[in-house]
Amino acid sequence: MTRPRGARGRFLKVPLKERFWKFVVAGGIADCWIWLGARNNDGYGVIRDDDGKMVLAHRVSMVIHSKDLQSDEVVRHDNECNNRACVNPWHLEAGTQGENMKDMWRLGKRAQPLRDRHGRFARG
């Protein structure tokens, strides 16, 4: 398939939403929708936005499905789905980085941070 060209023969930009769906195997609401495109070193799907910036595919999925995200919020997989390649918006939820870290510790994805005798995070 060739990309559409404009009047001067330049390639026209394909909208992000259209490019996103080319890399998704979607199923039902309960099924994981697997990202088939590029992934980062942590296994999460990535895609370039309309400005050419690399963004996380599951974050794009949330935006495409009209789920509001604040700039300081992260997108987390819910407790039922912990598949990093999943972009099903019903398996995703917005949250804080702190909530995301607690999820990772609970699931054994990251080591517990060191704490001092008062329960505060220890420094190095």
Region 16-106: CATH code? 3.90.75.20
Q: What is the DSSP string of 67-115?
A: ----TT-EEEE-SS---TTB--GGGEEEE-HHHHHHHHHHTTSSPPPPB
Q: What is the pTM of this model?
A: 0.74
Tens place of pLDDT per residue across the chain (124 aa): 565 555 555 556 899 999 999 999 999 999 999 999 999 998 999 999 988 899 999 999 999 998 878 888 889 888 788 899 999 999 999 989 888 888 877 777 665 555 666 666 555 5
